[in-house]
Amino acid sequence: MTPKAAIRAEAETLFAAFRAEGAVPVEADILQPAETLLDLYGEDIRARAYVTTDPLRGEMMLRPDFTVPVVQAHMAHGAEPARYCYMGEVFRKQDVAGPRASEYLQVGFELFDRTAPEQADAQVFALFARLLAPLNLRAATGDIGILMAAVRGLSTTDRRKSALLRHIWRPNRFRALLDRFSGRAPMPAARAALLDHLQKDTPEALIDAAGTLVGLRTAQDIAARARALIEDAATAPIAAPEAALLYDLLSLQAPARAALNHLRGITPMLPAIAPAVDRFAARLDALDALGTDTQTFPFEASHGRTSLEYYDGFVFSFHATDPTLPPVASGGRYDALTAVLGAGRSIPAVGGVIRPGLVARLKGEI
């Protein structure tokens, strides 16, 4: 059997397993409209998407995954509740030669159900764990929703909270912002020099003195940005206790039940996370009911922060022992994505994908 045939055979097996769980097979066009989708995928996928221009349809891209087009189709035509499965190639550019392919098969499962989201999380994870059990993979889980709730609950300006939320998927940038907003890091020299310049005159006067505008930003855009910088410089640092709790949360990595106990302990000091922690607890109970030992179940509060930017709750992945390989499977909850694509409607949704090429490789079939 050729490598492609072996991969296709694994994909068919996984696809059949998802269909056996009641999932309806769906298709998605290989060419997708780029404008809307690139904003939803985030920086990493945007930089790696194959983008082209169609004379009639405008900017298009080869699909980098299935979830967004599946959500679009469901929000336009789907009934509730719903389960979908799919199989096909996805495309992502790579910067360096290595084990990460630019074109590979992906098999996925998506579950839309508003009745019991935490049980749906547990069902999807348990399904993937069962299908991948023969490979003895390492599971990793997290909950982006807890970290988002902590940021939204900070006693600081909406602008600073928005900046932290925007960069939550870029750990280095997020920490640099948190260090600056909490006063742990000095203001960058270039920003300090710019502020000194801005405070000597009004933004409008400085813009007029600079001469002809170059670029796409209008004078009004530049003036608004200047005022935002001045306002931020006058904002008090995030309170030390709040910042310490957020740093603690970023580093939390423990068996799930121990992590839950820790989160319960800090919730009185960071009450904004209480609903997300309750959801985490309900998910663990649902996992226990499905036979998962949550006393040893892995949990890392920062897990998933380098994945697709539409996740906003439970996230999971399965990894081989070879650290150079990408995750064999990954997924999570993306409720907010359904609201973005639903034109005023939304529904809780969770799903995941498996790379059958890696499954075949780990089985020694290719």
First to last CA, the chain: 9
Amino acid at 231: E
User: Cis (ω within 30 of 0) for the bond into 186?
Assistant: no
Residue among 145, 184, 193 nearest 334 (CA):
145
Angle of the 203-210 helix axis to the 219-233 helix axis, nearest 10: 130
Query: What is the model's pLDDT at position 201?
Result: 64
Cα 196-201-202 angle, rounded to 5 deg:
115
pTM: 0.89
- Whole-number Å distance between alpha carbons of 305 and 172: 10
* Under 8 Å between Cβ of 351 and 326: no
- Whole-number Å distance between alpha carbons of 123 and 121: 6
Instruction: Give the other-Cβ count within 10 Å of 170's Cβ.
Output: 17
Cα 311-38-146 angle, rounded to 5 deg:
15
Residue among 360, 357, 299, 359 nearest 128 (CA):
359
Which DSSP string corresponds to 153-214? TSSS-HHHHHHHHHTTT-HHHHHHHHHHHTTSSPPPHHHHHHHHHHTTS-HHHHHHHH-S--
- Whole-number Å distance between alpha carbons of 249 and 288: 24
Could you tell me which residues are beta bridge partners of residue 111? 83, 350
Pairing label, strands 51-54, 58-62 = antiparallel
pLDDT in tens, the chain (366 residues): 678 999 999 999 999 999 999 999 999 999 988 877 777 776 666 778 888 888 888 889 899 889 999 999 999 888 889 999 999 999 988 777 666 778 999 999 999 999 999 999 999 999 999 999 999 999 999 999 999 999 999 999 999 999 999 999 889 999 999 999 999 988 777 777 777 766 666 666 656 666 666 666 776 777 677 777 777 777 899 999 999 999 999 999 999 999 999 999 999 999 999 999 999 999 999 999 999 999 999 999 999 887 778 899 999 999 999 998 999 999 999 999 999 888 888 999 999 999 999 999 999 888
Position of tokens 């809780």? 348
Q: What is the per-residue pLDDT across 37-55, written as a single tens digit (0 to 9) for each?
A: 777 776 666 778 888 888 8
* Under 8 Å between Cβ of 83 and 318: no
Structural Rg of the chain based on CA atoms: 23
DSSP letter, residue 326 = P
Query: What is the model's pLDDT at position 200?
Result: 65
Pairing label, strands 298-300, 31-33 = unpaired
Query: What is the model's pLDDT at position 121?
Result: 98
Q: Look up residue 47 and give its two tokens.
A: 């930089």
Residue 117 to residues 46, 179, 265, 276, 277: CA-CA distances in angstroms?
A: 29, 34, 24, 12, 14
SS3 264: helix
* Under 8 Å between Cβ of 41 and 308: yes
- Whole-number Å distance between alpha carbons of 121 and 332: 8
Residue among 60, 74, 69 nearest 31 (CA):
60
